[in-house]
Amino acid sequence: MTMPSSHAYLDHAATTPMVPEAIATMAEELARVGNPSSLHAQGRAAKRVVEESRELIAERLGARPSEVVFCSGGTEANNLAIKGLYWARHERDPSRTRVVYSAIEHHALLDPVQWLAKHEGADVVTTGVDRAGRLLVDDLRSTVEADPGSVAAVTTMWANNEMGSVQPVHEVVAIAREHGIAVHSDAVQAAGHLPLDFAASGLDALTLTAHKLGGPLGIGALLVRRGLDVVPLLHGGGQEGDLRSGTIGSALIAAFATAVDVSAARREQTGPRLEALRSRLVDGITAIVPDAIVNGAADPAERLPNIAHVTFPGCEGDAMLMLFDARGVSVSTGSACTAGVPQPSHVLLAMGYDETAARGSLRFSLGHSSTDDDVDRVLAALPEVHARAVSASSARGAR
């Protein structure tokens, strides 16, 4: 599925269009009736769809079917992972009060960690990142080894949603394993762009969501290592191995599985195509705006192929976003918005950028429906967008 020709969509890191195969699967399942927990024929048919989808997702991601726990999306999966691991570990050993996480996590992970600190008395500790937005492994090691017996869990995203920087997950796991510490990774951005193998990773838990893969909104999964003790957030009918109660949506799950299957099958072809589009986009931006700064890792092996994060000195990212939007181009800022008040990106601040630079950045993210025309639209609009943003910023500064 593609965006209307009147608009160039470069915000795939926020959500990507559903692939036609997932739409077809979902439409077919929506036409059927049946609660997967019911024992009659329709219920058994719905259950079969769910379990076949679970098996397909597990196969594509190197997990056992029993390790796939369906949730409403990445936020719920992250909450279940970090809160569930903390409660289980702390209950068994009250001395385990620390949660260690990177300074560039998505708010779907940052906020539940801070909730644990405020409401459960957890001691939350951040580890730093370098200028490219990659976790400082030595920093993590020293943090853990300062008092390993007090650490309930370590969490680090697989790839950052703003920079696209790929994190040293295997090194994180190796450090934690030395001390018997559970490790979770938010792989929402990595899935579909990087090969993920849950068993080989050594992780205890891994978060996915369908809508970043070409699947529907409202469905995701937490992969949970077999035998891992996790306290559930929801209590009710005991679905999903009693880890996530609630009636599960067979149509959503079937479309999710299809999207996982399609993205895995096409990843080796899609990756180089997106990298080429990204390179053309970045080269075009820096040719038009020579002082633009492309953030993140330069080495393609250390970043996702679809994200370009750019700082435009002397500009406000929010103003550029709206100017691009008025010209039929959808992009994103690197800033979070709390109660309608723009805030500088915590990711760029953690990377060592000042607030001015953090506010003057845009994220351009590509996906399976992206074309050369999308890049052309950005580059065609950029000269006027940049000139107007600089003028507006100068006018504000003069007041």
- Domains, the chain, ordered by start: 8-17+267-398 (3.90.1150.10), 20-261 (3.40.640.10)
User: DSSP labels for 101-129?
Assistant: EETT--HHHHHHHHHHHHHH--EEEEE-B
- pLDDT given for residue 399 in this prediction: 53
156: tokens are 């680090």
Of 2, 337, 387, 391, catalytic: 337
pLDDT of the chain, 399 residues: tens digit per residue: 344 457 899 999 999 999 999 999 999 999 999 999 999 999 999 999 999 999 999 999 999 999 999 999 999 999 999 999 999 999 999 999 999 999 999 999 999 999 999 999 999 999 999 999 999 999 999 999 999 999 999 999 999 999 999 999 999 999 999 999 999 999 999 999 999 999 999 999 999 999 999 999 999 999 999 999 999 999 999 999 989 999 999 999 999 999 999 999 999 999 999 999 999 999 999 999 999 999 999 999 999 999 999 999 999 999 999 999 999 999 998 644 443 556 788 999 999 998 888 889 999 999 999 999 999 999 999 999 999 999 987 767 655
Contact 272, 119 (CB under 8 A): no
74: tokens are 């990445």
Q: Integer distance in angstroms from the first to the last C-alpha of the chain?
A: 46
Q: Which DSSP symbol is given to 135?
A: B
- pLDDT given for residue 397 in this prediction: 60
Neighbouring C-beta atoms of residue 209, cutoff 10 Å = 28
pTM of the model: 0.94
Active site residue 315: no
113: tokens are 């960690």
Distance CA 312, CA 294 (A): 9
273: tokens are 């195509």
Query: Which H or E run contains 28?
Result: helix 20-30
Contact 40, 280 (CB under 8 A): no
Distance of CA 289 to the CA centre of its chain: 29
Would you call 327 helix, strand, or coil by DSSP?
Answer: coil
User: DSSP labels for 187-248?
Assistant: -TTTBTTB---HHHHT-SEEEEEGGGTTS-TT-EEEEE-TT-----S--SS-TGGGTS-S--
Q: Which DSSP symbol is given to 215?
A: S
Distance of CA 228 to the CA centre of its chain: 23
**Rounded (5°) CA angle 347-103-82:** 120
